[in-house]
Amino acid sequence: MAGIAFVGLLAAKPIFDVISRAEDPKKAAEAQTAAQTQTKWGMAIKIANCKDGCTDCINACNTIHNVPDIPDPKHEIKWIWDVNYEDVFPEQNSPFLANSLKGLPVLVLCNHCDHPPCARVCPTAATWKRAADGIVMMDYHRCIGCRYCMAACPYGARSFNWVDPRPYIKQINPDYPTRTKGVVEKCDFCEERLALGLIPACVEACTEKALVFGDLNDPNSDIRKLLATNYSIQRKAELGTGPNVYYVI
Amino acid sequence: MYDKGKIIAGIVIFLILITFPIWYLTAHSQTSHVPQLQAAAGNECVESTSYMLDNHMKLLDEWRTLVVRDGNDTYVASNGQEWNISLTGTCLSCHNKAEFCDQCHTYEGVTLNCWSCHFAGY
Protein backbone atom coordinates (compact mmCIF):
# COMPACT_ATOMS: atom_id res chain seq x y z
CA MET A 1 0.00 0.00 0.00
CA ALA A 2 2.80 2.37 0.95
CA GLY A 3 4.56 1.36 -2.26
CA ILE A 4 1.54 2.29 -4.37
CA ALA A 5 1.30 5.64 -2.60
CA PHE A 6 5.00 6.24 -3.24
CA VAL A 7 4.63 5.46 -6.95
CA GLY A 8 1.60 7.76 -7.04
CA LEU A 9 3.63 10.56 -5.47
CA LEU A 10 6.41 10.05 -8.00
CA ALA A 11 3.96 10.36 -10.85
CA ALA A 12 2.41 13.47 -9.34
CA LYS A 13 5.74 15.22 -8.72
CA PRO A 14 5.99 16.97 -12.11
CA ILE A 15 2.43 18.24 -11.64
CA PHE A 16 3.32 19.63 -8.20
CA ASP A 17 6.39 21.26 -9.72
CA VAL A 18 4.29 23.05 -12.29
CA ILE A 19 1.65 24.14 -9.78
CA SER A 20 4.22 25.37 -7.27
CA ARG A 21 6.31 27.22 -9.87
CA ALA A 22 6.60 30.18 -7.55
CA GLU A 23 9.52 32.48 -8.30
CA ASP A 24 12.47 32.41 -5.98
CA PRO A 25 12.10 35.74 -4.09
CA LYS A 26 15.85 36.40 -4.28
CA LYS A 27 15.91 35.91 -8.05
CA ALA A 28 12.82 38.07 -8.42
CA ALA A 29 14.53 40.85 -6.46
CA GLU A 30 17.61 40.60 -8.69
CA ALA A 31 15.43 40.77 -11.79
CA GLN A 32 13.71 43.83 -10.33
CA THR A 33 17.05 45.59 -9.80
CA ALA A 34 18.16 44.70 -13.32
CA ALA A 35 14.87 45.99 -14.71
CA GLN A 36 15.47 49.33 -13.02
CA THR A 37 18.96 49.80 -14.38
CA GLN A 38 18.40 48.76 -17.98
CA THR A 39 16.66 50.76 -20.68
CA LYS A 40 12.92 50.44 -21.16
CA TRP A 41 11.80 52.16 -24.33
CA GLY A 42 8.37 53.69 -24.25
CA MET A 43 6.27 56.20 -26.10
CA ALA A 44 3.82 58.89 -25.07
CA ILE A 45 1.21 60.17 -27.53
CA LYS A 46 -0.28 63.60 -26.91
CA ILE A 47 -3.54 63.02 -28.73
CA ALA A 48 -4.60 66.66 -28.66
CA ASN A 49 -1.48 67.62 -30.63
CA CYS A 50 -2.42 65.54 -33.67
CA LYS A 51 -3.48 67.73 -36.57
CA ASP A 52 -6.69 66.90 -38.42
CA GLY A 53 -6.01 64.47 -41.22
CA CYS A 54 -2.24 64.45 -40.71
CA THR A 55 -0.60 61.11 -41.47
CA ASP A 56 3.06 62.17 -41.48
CA CYS A 57 4.11 59.62 -38.84
CA ILE A 58 2.22 56.78 -40.53
CA ASN A 59 3.70 57.63 -43.93
CA ALA A 60 7.23 57.87 -42.53
CA CYS A 61 6.92 54.46 -40.88
CA ASN A 62 5.38 52.81 -43.93
CA THR A 63 8.02 54.21 -46.28
CA ILE A 64 11.01 53.29 -44.15
CA HIS A 65 9.80 49.81 -43.25
CA ASN A 66 8.40 48.81 -46.63
CA VAL A 67 4.90 48.42 -45.22
CA PRO A 68 2.67 47.49 -48.17
CA ASP A 69 -0.49 49.43 -49.00
CA ILE A 70 -2.94 46.58 -49.63
CA PRO A 71 -6.44 47.86 -50.44
CA ASP A 72 -8.27 44.73 -49.22
CA PRO A 73 -8.91 45.37 -45.48
CA LYS A 74 -8.71 41.63 -44.81
CA HIS A 75 -5.11 41.60 -46.03
CA GLU A 76 -3.89 44.99 -44.85
CA ILE A 77 -0.61 45.38 -42.96
CA LYS A 78 -0.41 47.94 -40.15
CA TRP A 79 2.48 49.08 -37.98
CA ILE A 80 1.13 52.44 -36.82
CA TRP A 81 -2.35 53.62 -37.72
CA ASP A 82 -5.27 55.55 -36.30
CA VAL A 83 -8.53 54.41 -34.77
CA ASN A 84 -11.44 56.33 -33.22
CA TYR A 85 -10.99 57.26 -29.56
CA GLU A 86 -14.04 55.18 -28.53
CA ASP A 87 -12.51 52.05 -30.07
CA VAL A 88 -9.00 52.64 -28.73
CA PHE A 89 -10.29 53.06 -25.17
CA PRO A 90 -13.57 51.11 -25.03
CA GLU A 91 -13.47 51.10 -21.23
CA GLN A 92 -13.41 54.92 -21.18
CA ASN A 93 -16.67 55.21 -23.04
CA SER A 94 -19.48 57.06 -21.38
CA PRO A 95 -22.74 58.40 -22.79
CA PHE A 96 -21.39 61.91 -22.30
CA LEU A 97 -17.93 61.62 -23.78
CA ALA A 98 -16.37 65.03 -24.40
CA ASN A 99 -17.15 66.31 -27.88
CA SER A 100 -13.45 66.85 -28.50
CA LEU A 101 -12.84 63.11 -28.06
CA LYS A 102 -15.81 61.74 -29.99
CA GLY A 103 -14.56 60.09 -33.16
CA LEU A 104 -11.11 61.57 -32.60
CA PRO A 105 -8.48 59.57 -34.52
CA VAL A 106 -5.93 58.20 -32.05
CA LEU A 107 -2.62 56.65 -33.09
CA VAL A 108 -2.16 53.01 -32.18
CA LEU A 109 0.86 50.75 -32.49
CA CYS A 110 2.52 47.83 -30.73
CA ASN A 111 2.62 48.59 -26.99
CA HIS A 112 5.87 46.68 -26.39
CA CYS A 113 4.28 45.23 -23.26
CA ASP A 114 6.15 44.34 -20.09
CA HIS A 115 4.42 40.96 -20.24
CA PRO A 116 3.75 40.44 -23.95
CA PRO A 117 1.12 37.74 -24.49
CA CYS A 118 2.28 37.40 -28.11
CA ALA A 119 5.77 36.34 -27.03
CA ARG A 120 4.32 33.94 -24.49
CA VAL A 121 2.32 32.00 -27.06
CA CYS A 122 4.86 31.97 -29.90
CA PRO A 123 5.87 28.33 -30.44
CA THR A 124 9.15 29.16 -32.18
CA ALA A 125 10.34 32.15 -30.15
CA ALA A 126 10.09 34.19 -33.34
CA THR A 127 8.80 37.03 -31.20
CA TRP A 128 10.33 37.77 -27.84
CA LYS A 129 10.87 40.49 -25.27
CA ARG A 130 14.40 41.82 -25.69
CA ALA A 131 16.00 41.94 -22.25
CA ALA A 132 18.31 44.89 -22.94
CA ASP A 133 15.68 47.49 -23.84
CA GLY A 134 12.25 45.90 -23.57
CA ILE A 135 11.44 45.93 -27.28
CA VAL A 136 9.12 43.14 -28.35
CA MET A 137 11.18 41.86 -31.27
CA MET A 138 10.27 39.88 -34.37
CA ASP A 139 12.53 37.36 -36.09
CA TYR A 140 10.87 36.93 -39.47
CA HIS A 141 13.26 34.07 -40.25
CA ARG A 142 11.70 31.99 -37.51
CA CYS A 143 8.04 32.93 -37.93
CA ILE A 144 6.03 29.95 -39.16
CA GLY A 145 2.86 31.98 -39.70
CA CYS A 146 0.72 30.19 -37.10
CA ARG A 147 -0.82 33.53 -35.99
CA TYR A 148 -1.08 32.53 -32.31
CA CYS A 149 0.47 35.92 -31.50
CA MET A 150 -2.28 37.71 -33.39
CA ALA A 151 -4.89 35.87 -31.36
CA ALA A 152 -3.01 36.66 -28.14
CA CYS A 153 -2.40 40.38 -28.73
CA PRO A 154 -5.26 42.36 -27.17
CA TYR A 155 -4.38 45.43 -29.26
CA GLY A 156 -4.57 44.00 -32.76
CA ALA A 157 -1.05 45.28 -33.28
CA ARG A 158 0.00 42.40 -35.52
CA SER A 159 -0.67 41.81 -39.19
CA PHE A 160 -0.31 38.66 -41.24
CA ASN A 161 1.00 38.59 -44.78
CA TRP A 162 -1.72 36.70 -46.62
CA VAL A 163 -0.19 37.66 -49.96
CA ASP A 164 3.24 38.60 -51.22
CA PRO A 165 3.57 42.21 -50.04
CA ARG A 166 6.12 43.35 -52.64
CA PRO A 167 3.69 44.27 -55.43
CA TYR A 168 1.94 46.60 -52.97
CA ILE A 169 5.04 48.58 -52.00
CA LYS A 170 5.31 51.70 -54.15
CA GLN A 171 9.02 52.30 -53.62
CA ILE A 172 11.06 49.64 -51.83
CA ASN A 173 13.56 51.00 -49.31
CA PRO A 174 16.61 48.81 -50.04
CA ASP A 175 18.03 49.41 -46.56
CA TYR A 176 15.22 47.50 -44.89
CA PRO A 177 13.92 44.07 -45.81
CA THR A 178 10.37 43.55 -46.97
CA ARG A 179 8.44 40.69 -45.46
CA THR A 180 7.23 37.64 -47.28
CA LYS A 181 3.96 35.79 -47.62
CA GLY A 182 3.19 33.73 -44.51
CA VAL A 183 4.82 35.78 -41.75
CA VAL A 184 3.39 38.08 -39.08
CA GLU A 185 4.77 41.58 -38.67
CA LYS A 186 4.39 44.60 -36.43
CA CYS A 187 6.06 47.78 -35.14
CA ASP A 188 9.49 47.18 -33.62
CA PHE A 189 10.02 50.70 -32.22
CA CYS A 190 12.52 51.22 -35.08
CA GLU A 191 15.09 49.03 -33.39
CA GLU A 192 17.29 49.34 -36.50
CA ARG A 193 17.30 53.13 -36.07
CA LEU A 194 17.82 52.94 -32.30
CA ALA A 195 20.92 50.82 -32.99
CA LEU A 196 22.27 53.78 -35.00
CA GLY A 197 21.37 56.26 -32.25
CA LEU A 198 18.32 57.63 -34.11
CA ILE A 199 14.82 58.05 -32.73
CA PRO A 200 11.88 56.16 -34.26
CA ALA A 201 10.81 57.39 -37.68
CA CYS A 202 7.27 58.31 -36.59
CA VAL A 203 8.57 60.49 -33.74
CA GLU A 204 11.03 62.19 -36.07
CA ALA A 205 8.36 62.80 -38.71
CA CYS A 206 5.87 64.47 -36.35
CA THR A 207 6.00 68.24 -36.75
CA GLU A 208 3.57 68.80 -33.86
CA LYS A 209 5.70 66.97 -31.26
CA ALA A 210 2.72 64.74 -30.52
CA LEU A 211 4.95 61.70 -30.10
CA VAL A 212 7.50 61.53 -27.31
CA PHE A 213 9.90 58.61 -27.19
CA GLY A 214 12.35 57.74 -24.46
CA ASP A 215 13.59 55.56 -21.65
CA LEU A 216 10.86 54.91 -19.10
CA ASN A 217 13.49 53.77 -16.60
CA ASP A 218 15.27 57.13 -16.70
CA PRO A 219 13.49 59.64 -14.42
CA ASN A 220 15.15 62.52 -16.30
CA SER A 221 13.99 61.46 -19.77
CA ASP A 222 11.55 63.66 -21.69
CA ILE A 223 8.91 60.97 -21.59
CA ARG A 224 9.12 60.56 -17.82
CA LYS A 225 8.96 64.33 -17.32
CA LEU A 226 5.90 64.50 -19.58
CA LEU A 227 4.18 61.65 -17.77
CA ALA A 228 5.03 63.13 -14.38
CA THR A 229 3.25 66.38 -15.19
CA ASN A 230 0.31 65.15 -17.28
CA TYR A 231 -2.57 62.74 -16.85
CA SER A 232 -2.02 59.73 -19.08
CA ILE A 233 -3.74 56.43 -19.77
CA GLN A 234 -2.66 53.13 -21.28
CA ARG A 235 -4.68 50.82 -23.50
CA LYS A 236 -6.37 47.96 -21.65
CA ALA A 237 -3.93 48.21 -18.73
CA GLU A 238 -6.36 46.11 -16.68
CA LEU A 239 -5.28 43.03 -18.67
CA GLY A 240 -1.90 43.13 -16.94
CA THR A 241 0.14 43.25 -20.13
CA GLY A 242 1.99 46.36 -18.94
CA PRO A 243 1.75 48.42 -22.15
CA ASN A 244 4.57 50.93 -22.69
CA VAL A 245 2.67 53.32 -24.93
CA TYR A 246 1.02 56.10 -22.94
CA TYR A 247 -1.70 58.46 -24.07
CA VAL A 248 -1.79 62.01 -22.75
CA ILE A 249 -5.43 63.07 -23.01
CA MET B 1 17.43 -17.53 -76.71
CA TYR B 2 14.59 -16.13 -78.76
CA ASP B 3 14.86 -12.77 -80.53
CA LYS B 4 18.56 -12.46 -79.76
CA GLY B 5 19.07 -9.89 -82.48
CA LYS B 6 16.23 -7.63 -81.34
CA ILE B 7 17.27 -7.76 -77.69
CA ILE B 8 20.92 -6.93 -78.34
CA ALA B 9 19.96 -4.15 -80.76
CA GLY B 10 17.55 -2.78 -78.15
CA ILE B 11 20.26 -2.79 -75.46
CA VAL B 12 22.69 -1.02 -77.78
CA ILE B 13 20.11 1.66 -78.65
CA PHE B 14 19.28 2.10 -74.97
CA LEU B 15 22.96 2.53 -74.06
CA ILE B 16 23.46 5.06 -76.84
CA LEU B 17 20.45 7.06 -75.69
CA ILE B 18 21.38 7.06 -72.02
CA THR B 19 24.95 8.14 -72.75
CA PHE B 20 23.79 10.72 -75.29
CA PRO B 21 24.84 13.77 -73.21
CA ILE B 22 28.41 12.44 -73.11
CA TRP B 23 28.50 11.84 -76.89
CA TYR B 24 26.90 15.14 -77.59
CA LEU B 25 29.40 17.10 -75.48
CA THR B 26 32.33 15.16 -76.92
CA ALA B 27 31.11 15.91 -80.41
CA HIS B 28 30.83 19.61 -79.59
CA SER B 29 34.18 19.48 -77.78
CA GLN B 30 33.01 21.64 -74.88
CA THR B 31 32.17 21.04 -71.27
CA SER B 32 28.76 21.76 -69.84
CA HIS B 33 27.88 25.17 -68.35
CA VAL B 34 30.01 26.18 -65.41
CA PRO B 35 29.24 29.13 -63.15
CA GLN B 36 30.94 32.32 -64.28
CA LEU B 37 31.61 34.31 -61.16
CA GLN B 38 32.16 37.99 -61.72
CA ALA B 39 35.03 39.45 -59.71
CA ALA B 40 33.73 41.33 -56.70
CA ALA B 41 33.96 45.10 -56.64
CA GLY B 42 35.76 45.31 -53.29
CA ASN B 43 39.34 44.45 -52.41
CA GLU B 44 38.73 41.88 -49.72
CA CYS B 45 35.95 39.76 -48.33
CA VAL B 46 35.17 39.46 -44.62
CA GLU B 47 37.05 36.15 -44.57
CA SER B 48 39.40 34.35 -46.99
CA THR B 49 38.02 33.12 -50.29
CA SER B 50 38.54 29.45 -49.42
CA TYR B 51 36.77 29.92 -46.08
CA MET B 52 33.88 31.76 -47.72
CA LEU B 53 33.61 29.11 -50.42
CA ASP B 54 33.04 26.42 -47.81
CA ASN B 55 31.32 28.34 -45.05
CA HIS B 56 29.45 31.36 -46.44
CA MET B 57 26.09 29.82 -45.54
CA LYS B 58 27.20 29.14 -41.98
CA LEU B 59 28.62 32.64 -41.68
CA LEU B 60 25.36 34.17 -42.91
CA ASP B 61 23.45 32.04 -40.43
CA GLU B 62 25.74 33.24 -37.65
CA TRP B 63 25.27 36.85 -38.78
CA ARG B 64 21.52 36.43 -38.73
CA THR B 65 21.61 35.21 -35.14
CA LEU B 66 24.03 37.92 -34.06
CA VAL B 67 22.11 40.83 -35.51
CA VAL B 68 18.50 39.73 -35.05
CA ARG B 69 18.57 37.79 -31.82
CA ASP B 70 21.61 39.16 -29.99
CA GLY B 71 21.29 42.75 -31.22
CA ASN B 72 24.98 42.80 -32.20
CA ASP B 73 25.56 44.33 -35.63
CA THR B 74 29.37 44.15 -35.70
CA TYR B 75 31.25 41.09 -36.91
CA VAL B 76 34.88 40.71 -35.93
CA ALA B 77 36.69 38.79 -38.68
CA SER B 78 39.48 36.31 -37.99
CA ASN B 79 42.02 39.02 -38.91
CA GLY B 80 40.49 41.37 -36.35
CA GLN B 81 38.79 43.67 -38.83
CA GLU B 82 35.27 44.77 -37.94
CA TRP B 83 32.40 44.58 -40.40
CA ASN B 84 28.83 45.82 -40.23
CA ILE B 85 26.55 42.80 -40.28
CA SER B 86 24.27 43.37 -43.23
CA LEU B 87 23.48 41.12 -46.17
CA THR B 88 22.39 43.94 -48.44
CA GLY B 89 24.65 46.60 -46.92
CA THR B 90 27.93 44.70 -46.65
CA CYS B 91 27.79 41.59 -48.89
CA LEU B 92 25.91 43.18 -51.76
CA SER B 93 28.06 46.30 -51.73
CA CYS B 94 30.71 44.13 -53.45
CA HIS B 95 28.82 41.16 -54.81
CA ASN B 96 26.00 41.27 -57.30
CA LYS B 97 23.20 38.79 -56.66
CA ALA B 98 22.65 37.81 -60.30
CA GLU B 99 26.32 37.66 -61.25
CA PHE B 100 27.61 36.11 -58.05
CA CYS B 101 25.10 34.35 -55.78
CA ASP B 102 22.79 33.06 -58.49
CA GLN B 103 25.62 31.67 -60.63
CA CYS B 104 26.38 28.73 -58.34
CA HIS B 105 22.98 28.43 -56.68
CA THR B 106 21.21 28.09 -60.00
CA TYR B 107 23.85 25.66 -61.27
CA GLU B 108 23.61 23.52 -58.14
CA GLY B 109 19.84 23.79 -57.90
CA VAL B 110 20.03 25.41 -54.46
CA THR B 111 16.85 27.29 -53.64
CA LEU B 112 17.31 30.19 -51.26
CA ASN B 113 14.67 32.21 -49.47
CA CYS B 114 16.93 35.17 -48.63
CA TRP B 115 15.58 37.29 -51.46
CA SER B 116 11.91 36.98 -50.68
CA CYS B 117 12.55 39.59 -47.94
CA HIS B 118 16.06 41.00 -48.43
CA PHE B 119 15.98 43.34 -51.37
CA ALA B 120 18.70 42.94 -53.97
CA GLY B 121 17.64 45.69 -56.35
CA TYR B 122 15.00 45.95 -59.04
pLDDT, one tens digit per residue, over A93-145 is: 889 999 999 999 999 999 999 999 999 999 999 999 999 999 999 999 999 99
Q: How far is CA A233 from the centre of its chain?
A: 15
Mean pLDDT of chain A: 89
| Residue A150 resides in a domain | no
Of the residues A178, A185, A194, A196, the best mutation for testing chain B's interface (the one with the most B CB atoms within 10 Å of its CB) is: A178
On whether residue A166 sits in a domain, the answer given is no
The answer to whether residue A164 sits within a structural domain is no
Does A139 contact B69 at a Cβ distance shorter than 8 Å? Answer: yes
Chain A: closest CA distance from residue B35 (Å): 27
Read off the pTM.
Answer: 0.80
> Is A193 contained in some domain?
yes
Query: Which residues between 42 and 61 in chain B have a beta carbon less than 8 angstroms from any beta carbon of chain A?
Result: none
The one-letter amino acid at A169? I
Cross-chain residue pair A140–B64, CB shorter than 8 Å: no
Q: CB distance A178–B69 less than 8 Å? A: no
What 3-state class would DSSP assign to A46? strand
**Between residues A76 and A18, which one has the greater pLDDT?**
A76
Number of structural domains, chain A? 1
Q: How confident is the model at residue A9 (pLDDT cuts 50, 70, 90)?
A: very low
Quick check: B117 and A174 CB within 8 A? no
Buried b (16+ CB within 10 A) or exposed e, B31-44: eeeeeeeeebeeee
Could you tell me where the beta strands, DSSP code E, fall in chain A?
41-46, 80-84, 105-109, 127-129, 136-138, 159-160, 184-185, 211-215, 232-234, 245-248
Question: What is the residue type of B13?
Answer: I
Look up the CATH number of the domain holding residue A204.
3.30.70.20
- Categorize the per-residue pLDDT at A15 as very low, low, confident or very high, splitting at 50, 70 and 90: very low
Query: How far is A232 from B90, CA to CA, in rounded Å?
Result: 43
- Residue A177 is nearest to which of B71, B117, B122, comparing CB atoms? B117
Assess if residue A229 is contained within a domain: yes
Q: What is the pLDDT of residue A34?
A: 54
What is the β-pairing status of strands A80-84 and A105-109? antiparallel
Do the domain assignments include residue A178? no
Residues in chain B, pLDDT under 50: none
* Structural domain boundaries enclosing A228: 2-116+187-248
CA B26 to chain centre: 26
State the complex-level ipTM.
0.76
Q: Distance between alpha carbon A142 and the CA centroid of its chain, in Å?
A: 19
Flag the least confident range among A8-22, A98-112, A218-232, B4-18: A8-22
Separation of alpha carbons A193 and A211, rounded Å: 16
Domain boundaries, chain B: 86-122
